[in-house]
Each structure stands twice: as C-alpha cells, then as structure tokens.
C-alpha cells in the first residue's frame, strides 16, 4: 500500500528513527486489548508535533492511506486495530503536561500522557481529575478522550466527556483546528469539542487536550457490603440514590467474580455470598462519615449479610484495587477473555444481571459480571478459548442476546468501551438506521475519503472477527 516514494516522504517528516515497518514492529501493532482481532498495518509512525501530524495526514489523505491513531492500545472494541491496513499513528511522544492552571482550574496536556501520571501530577497540588477508567495506569488521556472513557467515579463525578473543555485536532486535509478552551461557558458555534470526544479516531487526530479540574476531596471512606441475594444488592443501590446520597462510586461484583478475585488478591472474601458492593464516598470529613453511616444503615435495613467499613484509607484502597483487578484476575482462568460493556439505567440492574446469568446458562458459558452498579454500567466477562471455534460461536450468540437485552431495558450497547469494530453491527439497535445515516454524513464532512480509522463505529460488515491479515 505504501509506495517507496511515499514511504520516503513520510520518513522525511519524522526521521527514520520514528518510522517503523519491520515485520516484528508491524506485528506488535497489529492488535490491541480486544480478543480475537488482529490485522497488520503498513507502517507505524511516531510523530512529535502537530506540524508532523498535519503533514502525515495530508499525505495519507492524498494517497488514500488509512490512519489509525493509537495511545497505549488498551482498546477493548478493536478501535486501534488497523483492519484495512494503513498507518498506525502512535501518539505517545505527545506525553507532556503543558500547563496546570490553578487559577482557572484547567490543565492542558498532550494526548500521550498516561492517565494515572496525570492524576499524580494534579493531586500533588491538591487538584483532582476524576475520570478513572480501569485501564488508567496504562492508557493515555488521548485514548480516553477518543473513546469517551468512563471509570468508577462516573456516578458522582461524570466521565471523560464531562471534563474536556477544549481540543486541538487535525483533519485529513492537514488542517489544524481548535475548539473550546478554558472557558467554563462557551456557546460559540457547534460543540465540536464534544463531538470529537468519543468519536473513536474517525473524525480527526487529537493533538492537544484542555480539561477541567476540581479541588481534591478532603477525605474518603470505603464500605463493603455482602449480600445473600442479587436483588438485595440492587435494592441497596436503589435506596442509596432514593435517600439523595450520591456516593463517589458503587461497584458490584457477582459471586463468580468474587471467587476469582479472591483467589488472585487473597482478601478472604465470604464466597458463599451472592454479590458484594464496594461503596466509596469522598468530600468533607463530616459529610463523608454521615453518608457512609446512612449507607450502612440502608444496607442493614435491606438485609445485607455483612456491612464493613474500611478502617483506613489504605484498607479502602486495597479493596478498590481488588475490584480494579477483576479483569486481570478473570484473565488468568482461560486463554481468551471477552469483556463487554452492557449498560442499562440503574433501576434495571438486577434484571440485567439475571438476564446475563440466564444467557450464560443457555449457551453453557462461564460469564462473570462486575461493574459500576451506581450508573448501570456492567461488564459481563466471558472466559473461553479462541481455539475452540464452536465455543466462540456460542460466545458471539450469547453477547448478541445480551446487547438486545440492554436495549430492551432502555440501555445502550456500550457505556464506556466504545463501538470500535466489535459492536458496529449493533449500533443501529441504539441509534436507529436514521441515526447511523446521519452519523455517516457527519463523518463525511470531516473525512470525505474515509481515511481516519476506517471500518470502525458504523462499518457495515459481518461481525465475525478478522484473523491476521497478511500485507
């Protein structure tokens, strides 16, 4: 796909050192964290400035070469897999925090900054960037923005899209645009900033991000609740909200997940329990204690088997870490772990978990469910073996039923992972054919030659996963 001439032109933009196309290098960039999806790119380029990105895009657009922007490759929906070949644009050299503006409570940074590093930098000066996706120790802010990533603090604090105030991004023509800025209020023209967030690399390549910050909460407390019954857990969540308390996070683990996590993290969890809730509240000391006490009362009242407040912030952190490592723990069981992202309105939580159990039983699969009970964003996770094609068929059918159930319950096909490659077949369930057609017209307005991450979001293609594509 890349003529030698074009290859040389691209090398002259970034320098030989930052242009990779040996077989091993291409192989390393042919997959991300999505199971069962792999495709070889034609080249990997690692630019260091918006001017380089602009030149690369302009050349790619001229020659109709796909461009796939990539951060750390933790994408779970195939978002960074180059399914039509092309150039992987590794944005990791954009890894500086340009400014933390303490007066305006904003920060401006490159897309390649690791999210957890950004947390550390702002927390060191008493500030707070709440979005905490599960991948945060590895993933980049740019990846979070492209996907509209969520996290555990979504219930109280919102998600990535609630924090992006401004962007610099590059169109396929090489044009560099800026949207938004440091202004809390700005209604000048269409909200292109928000259109770009969650656009999964299909509308432009993001080169700079300005986010909103909050003051760091004074303290936090963690409560763990064990339930005999799945519906008890759901009722507790419901009654917390009905009591007008909004905790920072309410995390849910089903029994199957508890067993696996406990084996991994050795926490001594009571494994005869049907489910557990991890609840965290942050803020001023007095308010936090009040809220946690009220929540404990609610849990007891509903009939929780056990309610335990973490004695220290460290113990609370340890419990939260166990929840964060649910995916890693589950991944140990079998060769292939498919983590999905079915989301329903909070009030339908228990029904959805039951539905997932029904589907798992129907297709004779091992599916564990954990997730963000506070905002209805569940992660049904299936342990399988991709070498068993018959099993993988059953996995695909099971998840299709699960997505249909989410929609039936008033939910969505993806709460935080994105549509990518793996859910494009289901997008119409959420937005309708008319919605898809409109989105395709918007895409064409940004990228008429369809070079930006082609084949993603609303590609009309069969769901079957693509095997390694030889170049």
CB of 203 to its own copies, least distance (A): 8
Binding its own copies (rule: CB under 8 A), the pick from 31, 118, 363, 458 is 458
Task: Kindly state the tokens that stand for 179.
Answer: 């949207």
How are beta strands 377-384 and 336-339 bridged, if at all?
Answer: antiparallel
Radius of gyration of the chain (CA): 22
Per-residue contact flags (x/-) with its own copies for residues 395 to 414, judged by CB under 8 A: ---------------xxxxx
Q: How far is the CB of 195 from its own copies (least distance, A)?
A: 5
The reply on whether position 201 binds its own copies by CB under 8 A is no
Is beta strand 87-90 parallel, antiparallel or unpaired with respect to 43-45? parallel
Nearest to 33 by CA among 467, 384, 356, 327: 327
Sites for its own copies among residues 291-350 (CB under 8 A): 343-347
Q: Which stretch binds its own copies (CB under 8 A): 293-301, 310-318, 386-394, 431-439?
A: 431-439
60 binds its own copies per the rule CB under 8 A = no
Is 418 near its own copies (CB under 8 A)?
yes
Query: Which residues, in sequence order, are CB contacts of 101 under 8 Å at separation 6+?
Result: 107, 108, 182
Nearer to its own copies, 363 or 426 (CB): 426
Member of 21, 32, 280, 416 binding its own copies (CB under 8 A): 416
Size of the site for its own copies (CB under 8 A): 91
Identity of the residue, 70 or 348, whose beta carbon is nearer to its own copies in the bound complex: 348
Binding mask 363-392 for its own copies (x = CB under 8 A): ---------x-xxxx---------------
- Which residue's CB is nearer to its own copies, number 45 or number 105? 105
User: Per CB under 8 A, which of residues 69..98 are in contact with its own copies?
Assistant: none
Nearer to its own copies, 212 or 324 (CB): 212
Name the one range near its own copies by CB under 8 A: 49-57, 353-361, 393-401, 425-433.
Answer: 425-433
| Window of 236-244, 260-268, 309-317, 330-338 that interacts with its own copies by CB under 8 A | 236-244
Nearer residue to its own copies within complex by CB, 104 or 366 = 104
Task: Tell me if 417 contacts its own copies by CB under 8 A.
Answer: yes
Among 175, 272, 293, 393, binds its own copies (CB under 8 A): 175
The yes or no reply on residue 450 touching its own copies (CB under 8 A) is: no
The C-alpha atoms of residue 459 and residue 66 are separated, in whole angstroms, by 14
- Residue from 63, 182, 259, 408 touching its own copies (CB under 8 A): that is 182
Of positions 313, 444, 467, 468, contacts its own copies by CB under 8 A: 444
53 binds its own copies, rule: CB under 8 A: no
Least Å distance, CB 374 to its own copies, is: 8
Is the Cβ of residue 387 or residue 441 nearer to its own copies in the bound state? 441
* Sole window of 32-40, 209-217, 225-233, 351-359 interacting with its own copies (rule: CB under 8 A): 209-217
- Rule CB under 8 A: choose which of 17, 23, 24, 187 binds its own copies: 187
Does residue 421 contact residue 77 with C-beta atoms inside 8 Å?
yes
Interface with its own copies includes 181 (CB under 8 A)?
yes
Q: Is 197 in the site for its own copies (CB under 8 A)?
A: yes
User: What are the φ/ψ torsions at residue 277 (nearest 5 degrees)?
Assistant: -120, 135
State in angstroms the smallest separation of the CB of 333 from its own copies. 27
4, 5, 17, 215: which one binds its own copies (CB under 8 A): 215
The verdict on 124 binding its own copies (CB under 8 A) reads no
Residue 217 to residue 237: CA distance in whole angstroms: 23
Query: Can you tell me the distance from the alpha carbon of 156 to that of 381, in angstroms, rounded to the nearest whole number?
Result: 25
Applying CB under 8 A, which of residues 404, 430, 465, 469 lies at the interface with its own copies? 430
């Amino acid at each position: 796909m890349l003529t030698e001439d074009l290859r040389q032109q691209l090398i002259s933009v970034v320098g030989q050192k930052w242009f990779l196309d040996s077989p091993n290098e291409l192989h390393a960039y042919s997959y991300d964290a999505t199971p069962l999806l792999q495709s070889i790119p034609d080249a990997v380029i690692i630019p260091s400035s918006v001017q380089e990105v602009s030149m690369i895009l302009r050349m790619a657009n001229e020659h109709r070469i796909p461009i796939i922007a990539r951060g750390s490759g933790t994408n779970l929906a195939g978002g960074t897999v180059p399914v039509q070949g092309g150039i992987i644009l590794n944005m990791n050299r954009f890894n500086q925090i340009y400014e933390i503006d303490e007066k305006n409570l904003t920060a401006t940074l490159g897309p390649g900054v690791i999210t957890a590093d950004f947390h550390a930098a702002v927390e060191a000066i008493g500030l707070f960037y709440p979005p905490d996706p599960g991948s945060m120790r590895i993933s980049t802010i740019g990846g979070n923005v492209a996907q509209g990533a969520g996290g555990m603090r979504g219930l109280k604090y919102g998600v990535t899209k609630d924090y992006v105030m401004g962007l610099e991004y590059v169109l396929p023509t090489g044009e560099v645009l800026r949207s938004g800025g440091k202004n809390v209020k700005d209604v000048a023209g269409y909200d292109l900033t928000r259109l770009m967030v969650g656009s999964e690399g299909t509308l432009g390549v993001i080169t700079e991000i300005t986010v909103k910050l909050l003051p760091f909460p004074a303290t936090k407390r963690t409560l763990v609740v064990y339930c005999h019954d799945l519906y008890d857990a759901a009722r507790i969540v419901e009654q917390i909200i009905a009591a007008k308390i909004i905790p920072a996070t309410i995390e849910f683990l089903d029994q199957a997940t508890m067993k696996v996590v406990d084996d991994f993290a050795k926490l001594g969890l009571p494994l005869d329990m049907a489910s557990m809730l991890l609840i965290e509240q942050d803020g001023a000391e007095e308010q936090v204690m009040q809220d946690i006490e009220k929540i404990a009362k609610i849990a007891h009242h509903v009939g929780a088997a056990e309610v335990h407040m973490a004695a220290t912030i460290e113990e609370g952190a340890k419990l939260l870490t166990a929840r964060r490592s649910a995916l890693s723990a589950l991944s140990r069981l079998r060769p292939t772990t498919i983590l999905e992202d079915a989301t329903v309105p909070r009030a339908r939580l228990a029904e959805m978990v039951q539905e997932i159990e029904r589907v798992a039983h129907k297709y004779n699969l091992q599916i564990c469910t954990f997730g963000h009970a506070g905002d209805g964003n569940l992660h049904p996770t299936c342990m399988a073996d991709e070498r068993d094609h018959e099993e993988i068929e059953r996995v695909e059918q099971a998840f299709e039923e699960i997505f249909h159930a989410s929609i039936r319950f008033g939910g969505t096909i993806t709460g935080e992972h994105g549509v990518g490659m793996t859910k494009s077949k289901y997008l119409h369930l959420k937005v309708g054919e008319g919605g898809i057609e409109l989105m395709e017209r918007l895409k064409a307005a940004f990228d008429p030659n369809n070079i930006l991450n082609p084949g993603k979001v609303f590609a009309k293609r069969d769901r079957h996963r693509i095997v390694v594509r030889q170049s």
